[in-house]
Chains A and B, each alone.
Chain A
Amino acid sequence: MTDRPTPAEAARALQEAEHRRDQVFASVQESRWVAVVCGTVLFACLAAPDFFGSEATRWTSPLLAVLSVTYAVMLNTRRGSALLGRPTRLRRKEIAPRFATIARVILLLVMAAGLAAAFIPHPGIPLPYWRTVAGVLLGGFVIVFGRRSEQALLAVARRDRTEGKDLGWAHGGR
């Protein structure tokens, strides 16, 4: 390319930049073992009260909370991410603001539902070992579909090109 690229060269360079951006989204993934460990821990914590009595929730809930916080902290640090097998960290600005808002609302609703279930008395489910069944389903889902669902969510979360004017990507940009 010379000092002033021809229109064809400029178009090719823009395409290349877009392609590299696509590549970032496609490669945001961690090691398979992380999904296996997460799924197994989820299963163990959900199924524990069925085998060790309701006393088990005294340690399963704090354990899940501690592991969730540890995971979140690791994701936000370079060394932690490397340990999880994630070589990159996606920029927050790459995520569509609308998706981020919806995700936050859903997370808050799930947390509120969890708190409500813990403090509001409710009739037990008349199905033996229902927690184990739930653990198998949830844990199995995380192990089998965890990575694929992350990719699917990222595809939805991706900032639309027309939204990216401030990033210098949008057509008809600066």
Chain B
Amino acid sequence: MAAADFDPLLLDPTRLSIVSLLSGVQWAEFAWVRESVGLSASALSKQITTLGTQGYVDIDKGYVGKRPRTWLNLSGEGRAALEAHLGALQRVVEDSRRAADTYRATDERPSHG
């Protein structure tokens, strides 16, 4: 399998966690993502900037009352990248499982002589 099947940005486990989390929601508050992933605000901000630069995550800033809020959502591009990446990961696991099954079947074949 070509390495091109994998999204280099999503090979990072933290970024994969963030994008997987956002894939289940229409939007999420920055603070909720930070708590869910267990990152500091600055570390998450850095990852979000990277994902935002690639167009994977849309960032919306606003106020609720006087308190500033940041909402994040996965863009169509980000969702497509995640699906392709998860598909590629799935294929790696399946190929490995198939190889193991084949090896087991060969190993269990009764030997003659």
Contacts and interface: CB of A to CB of B under 8 A. Distances in A.
Contact of B86 (A1, A91, A92, A169): A169
Interface string B71-108: 10000000000111011011111111100000000000
Given A3-B3, A13-B16, A16-B16, A78 B31 contact: no
Interface in B1-59: 1, 3, 6, 8, 11-13, 16-17, 20-21, 23-29, 31-32, 36
A18 to B, nearest CB: 8
A16 B93 CA distance: 14
A17 B20 contact: yes
A7 B71 contact: no
Contacts of B62: 78-79
B84 A174 contact: yes
Given A5-B6, A88-B29, A169-B86, A21 B23 contact: yes
Nearest to B36: A23
A7 B90 CA distance: 9
A7 B101 CA distance: 14
A16 B28 contact: no
B35 to A, nearest CB: 9
Contacts of B32: 27, 87-88
A126 interface: no
Taking residues whose C-beta sits less than 8 angstroms from the other chain, chain B's interface range is 35 or more
Contacts of A7: 92-93, 95-97
Interface in A51-81: 78-79
Interface string A13-25: 1101100110111
Nearest to A22: B24
Contacts of A20: 17, 20-21, 23-24, 36
A82 interface: yes
A4 interface: yes
B93 A14 contact: yes
Given A20-B17, A20-B21, A91-B24, A168 B12 contact: no
Contact of A90 (B1, B11, B25, B91): B25
A78 B13 contact: no
Given A5-B11, A14-B90, A87 B31 contact: yes
Contact of A27 (B13, B36, B60, B92): B36
A83 B95 CA distance: 48
14 contacts: A3-B3, A4-B6, A7-B97, A14-B86, A16-B16, A16-B17, A24-B25, A82-B64, A87-B28, A88-B28, A88-B29, A91-B24, A94-B24, A168-B82
